[in-house]
Amino acid sequence: MRVSELMRPETNGWNDELVRATFLAFEANSILNIRMGENNPRDVWCWDLTRDGNYSVKSAYGALSKGSGCQEEQSDYSREEWLWKRLWKVPVLPRIKVFFWQLCNDAIATRNNIARRIPGTMDGCPICGYDVESGIHIVRECSWVRSVWSGLGVDVLSGVGFDRIRDWIEALMRDKGMAEWVELMTGCWAIWEMRNKVVFDGVRWSVEDVFAPG
Ligand SMILES: [Zn+2]
């Protein structure tokens, strides 16, 4: 994803809606606080966290993680690199790639993650109500979600012994081809979209609606 995709060319400003939809609230705020220059044709956009000056989501994520106190384990770097390179090549929308990367890093706005930042808020799964809503619960553990994967013919139970979401995805996907990656990433995205409809629009969870367009 390039920074220009997050901007409105007509106003030379951020596309607030897209930035907020793509990043977590604290990440979006950091990005939206970056001032735009005047509309000057000599301006060149340059991202100083990558060698070639082109914006990459990973460099932004790394910078934001440092600023927000999230700890990345250095020993995981080469594995992280493998996962990142792999998923970035999958032919899905950039927004889905960013979401999936955040999911792999347990950095999506699940109730569990929100409750860690705001003590006292509900952390239970809004779909089944039986467990804490973590990233891995949403896409693997939740009983209602299992039927989504069986409908897609994706075996999410391989590597089920891994509790950390990135470990599980690596175990599950290491030898898989592009079609399986597309299924996994779009499946996770569709489940999250449906979950958001349940939480924010009060609709009832339905497997059919997970696959419904729009
Ligand atoms: Zn659940």
- Identify the three-state secondary structure at position 136: helix
C-alpha 208/C-alpha 199 separation (Å) is: 17
**How close is the Cα of 131 to the center of ligand 1, in Å?**
6
**How close is the Cα of 134 to the center of ligand 1, in Å?**
9
C-alpha 178/C-alpha 50 separation (Å) is: 27
Tally the residues of the chain. Answer: 214
C-alpha 139/C-alpha 137 separation (Å) is: 6
**pLDDT at position 98:** 92
Sign of CA dihedral 17, 99, 61, 43: negative
**pLDDT at position 31:** 73
**How close is the Cα of 133 to the center of ligand 1, in Å?**
7
**How close is the Cα of 132 to the center of ligand 1, in Å?**
8
**How close is the Cα of 52 to the center of ligand 1, in Å?**
43
Counting residues of the chain whose pLDDT is more than 70, the rounded percentage is 73
Contact 100, 188 (CB under 8 A): yes
**How close is the Cα of 31 to the center of ligand 1, in Å?**
32
**How close is the Cα of 152 to the center of ligand 1, in Å?**
19
Contact 191, 149 (CB under 8 A): no
**How close is the Cα of 77 to the center of ligand 1, in Å?**
31
**pLDDT at position 60:** 61
**How close is the Cα of 193 to the center of ligand 1, in Å?**
15
- In tens digits, the chain (214 residues) has pLDDT values of 666 777 777 777 788 888 887 777 766 776 777 665 544 334 444 444 455 555 566 666 555 554 444 444 445 667 778 888 898 999 999 999 999 999 999 999 999 999 988 888 899 999 999 999 999 999 999 988 988 898 888 888 776 788 889 989 988 888 899 999 999 999 999 999 999 999 999 999 888 888 876 5
**pLDDT at position 28:** 76
CB atoms closer than 10 angstroms to residue 197: 16
**How close is the Cα of 164 to the center of ligand 1, in Å?**
17
Q: Dmax of the chain from CA atoms?
A: 57
**pLDDT at position 61:** 58
**How close is the Cα of 203 to the center of ligand 1, in Å?**
15
**pLDDT at position 69:** 42
**pLDDT at position 38:** 47
**pLDDT at position 177:** 92
**How close is the Cα of 141 to the center of ligand 1, in Å?**
7
- pTM greater than 0.75 (yes/no): no
**pLDDT at position 73:** 46
**How close is the Cα of 198 to the center of ligand 1, in Å?**
12
**How close is the Cα of 197 to the center of ligand 1, in Å?**
15
